[in-house]
Structure 1
Amino acid sequence: MTFPSHPSGSALRERMIEDMNVRGFTEDTRRDYIRCVKRFAAFIGRSPDAATAEDLRRFQVHQTESGMRPPGINSSVSALRFFFTVTLDRPDLSRRLAIVHQPRKLPLVLSAEEVARLLEAAPGPKYKAALGTAYGAGLRVSEVVALKVTDIDSARMLIRVEQGKGRKDRHAMLSPHLLELLRAWWREGKRRGVMLPRGWLFPGRNPVTPLSSRQLNRAVHAAAEAAEIRKRVTPHTLRHSFATHLLEQDIDIRVIQVLLGHAKLDTTALYARVATNTIRTVMSPLDRIKPLTQDETRPDR
């Protein structure tokens, strides 16, 4: 992949990749950033290092008018800011890019009964264990599929999550019931000959490669349909449900922050807005004052 029609296009691309490698960007991030810069270069019709502030303004107007949603626009902003600030050393241009702010929506959450139905309907023991891990440990889908057998520490009842979001290692909780699900899958996987020594906990079709996020997404959609759950369920819904259900059990929000691997408490605090059991148990100040309703035995005056 090269930036279009410019003799320095390939060199620019390689320089940007080197800059991203130095900063430890993941392969997915590198690919997305290159794609965004290539899209910008195609829009202006020349090498991106010849871009002007007006080009950036027109590009963002084009994105908005073409119906691109805020997350996509903001991803482009991140990629172009990196390209102009780091690779080209042109921070003056990066300041022309505007982040699109969007209201934070409440996450969709399943009830405990719906989670049980979903796991029961999972297509096989591997997917039941994988979805059980997303809910039982509150892991992101990318973290679930990246687990290896050696990441399960049954002695300490912990799951080691290597290089999660933000490229940080952390420990997640390993509940006794989740350990049972994982052991059931491990026995079945050994019987099938797909569990390699020190290999992936959830191997894909080829045991040397892990289950993909897309495969896990398809599995959760199939399970939700089989369980007759009408909500739009994704693997991340199980992580949302994990956090919300812990909050409803009066687990300290800072403990939940650590379990989820959130850098900011504000991110975790979003779940306080959907913890309906917590909301229902709070006494309204109205209930602490004298009832305002009239005594039905007294005639109206």
Structure 2
Amino acid sequence: MRLKALDDVADHTVEAYRNDVYNFIAFLTEHHGAAQGVAPLTRVSQSDMRGWMAHERRRGVQPRSLARRLSAVKSFFRWFSQRDGFDATAVLSARAPKFQKKLPRPLDPDAAKTMIETVGLQTSEDWVAARDMAVVTLLYGCGLRISEALSLTMAEMPIADVLRIVGKGRKERVVPVIAPARTAVDRYLKLLPFELAPQDLVFRGVRGGPVSQRVIQKVMERARLQLGLPATATPHAMRHSFATHLLEAGGDLRTIQDLLGHASLSTTQAYTAVDTARLMEVYNKAHPRGENV
């Protein structure tokens, strides 16, 4: 059953939030020495919240993870208090621990292109090499999440000039498909040894079933080791690179936000690894008098 406190989010996110809420209730049960039904949950105090967060830290939960768990608990209590009409201020006012946000580390353009080429050298099977190159090209050339690339179906083939992608929060966006990405996918389809129906997923494993995200991650791990790239050279880094290189080339941040499917512009800003000097250059070009301010 989906957690009703969450609307329009991915199933794996719902599952993670559900586990966080269940673990919080399990703590309260042990903390108070009694099962936590509806009535006790309406009386959760600030002391309970402090006790839970201290308990999680003692268990080794890092600030970033604890902040996510607190977010899940707050989402649940926001819905719960609205449904049952009680004051959930004690829960909703709990402060998340501070933590340093990790900035994304995109590859430079040459490294991104070399990564795509090297990914194709990790197997002796031509069709598998073509598959891996096609997936990684979609990540870098179209800014897709790996889950989005692996969710494409044969009904969307042959790949067109644009793709309609349903991303996080079931938010739909239209993404242009660059020529190298179309070429890479077309080459893979020509070499694919399996007959697929329109509803089947495009990218297949060696036994014919849908390929998993982990397979693509491992292929990129091998490629980055060969190239001497850092551990941050992951499938998601290709998406970071897409955003950063577009902005460096003069792309509009709001357009890039739409292409990535971000609900918040601040999320897009975090994806773009452009230094302060570059941002000031863009600012001064847009506001010629800015440098005199």
- Which TM-score applies when normalising by structure 1? 0.76
The equivalent residue for 2:220 is 220
Tell which structure's C-alpha radius of gyration is larger.
Answer: 1
Deviation, 1:269, is 2.6
User: Where do 1:59-138 residues align within 5 Å?
Assistant: 59-87=52-80, 89=84, 90=86, 91-122=88-119, 123=122, 124-138=129-143
**Cα 1:212–1:100 shift into 2, 3 Å:** farther
Percentage of identical aligned residues: 28
Q: Between Structure 1 and Structure 2, how many residues are aligned?
A: 263
Provide the C-alpha distance between the structure 1 equivalents of 2:158 and 2:164, rounded to a whole number of angstroms.
8
Deviation, 1:271, is 4.9
User: Where do 1:3-82 residues align within 5 Å?
Assistant: 17=2, 19=4, 23-44=7-28, 45=30, 46-49=34-37, 50-51=40-41, 52-53=44-45, 54-82=47-75
Provide the C-alpha distance between the structure 1 equivalents of 2:138 and 2:182, rounded to a whole number of angstroms.
9
Deviations 1:79-105, CA, capped at 9 Å, x for gaps? 212332324645334324322343433
Alignment-mate amino acid for residue 86 of structure 1: W
Alignment-mate amino acid for residue 180 of structure 1: T
Contact kept in structure 2, 1:152 and 1:158, CA below 8 Å: no
Structure 1 residue matching 2:168: 3-state secondary structure: coil
Contact kept in structure 2, 1:106 and 1:274, CA below 8 Å: no
The equivalent residue for 2:188 is 185
Residues 197-206 or 33-42, more deviating:
197-206
Alignment-mate amino acid for residue 41 of structure 1: I
Contact kept in structure 1, 2:5 and 2:79, CA below 8 Å: no
Q: Where in structure 1 do 4 or more consecutive aligned residues deviate above 6 Å?
A: 279-284
Provide the C-alpha distance between the structure 1 equivalents of 2:194 and 2:144, rounded to a whole number of angstroms.
26
Q: Which runs of 5+ in 1 are unaligned?
A: 1-13, 285-301
- Which TM-score applies when normalising by structure 2? 0.78
Deviation, 1:194, is 5.5
The equivalent residue for 1:197 is 198
The equivalent residue for 2:164 is 160
Provide the C-alpha distance between the structure 2 equivalents of 1:111 and 1:277, rounded to a whole number of angstroms.
17
Q: Which runs of 5+ in 2 are unaligned?
A: 123-128, 285-293
**Cα 1:25–1:274 shift into 2, 3 Å:** closer
What's the C-alpha RMSD, in Å, of the aligned pairs?
2.9
Structure 2 residue matching 1:170: 3-state secondary structure: strand
Deviation, 1:183, is 0.5
Contact kept in structure 1, 2:146 and 2:235, CA below 8 Å: yes
Provide the C-alpha distance between the structure 2 equivalents of 1:227 and 1:274, rounded to a whole number of angstroms.
23
Provide the C-alpha distance between the structure 2 equivalents of 1:36 and 1:135, rounded to a whole number of angstroms.
33
Provide the C-alpha distance between the structure 2 equivalents of 1:277 and 1:125, rounded to a whole number of angstroms.
39
Deviations 1:234-255, CA, capped at 9 Å, x for gaps? 1110011011111111122222
Among 164, 176, 184, which residue is 2:179 paired with?
176
Provide the C-alpha distance between the structure 1 equivalents of 2:196 and 2:227, rounded to a whole number of angstroms.
29
Deviation, 1:60, is 0.9
Deviation, 1:207, is 4.1
Residues 85-94 or 231-240, more deviating:
85-94
Deviation, 1:114, is 0.9
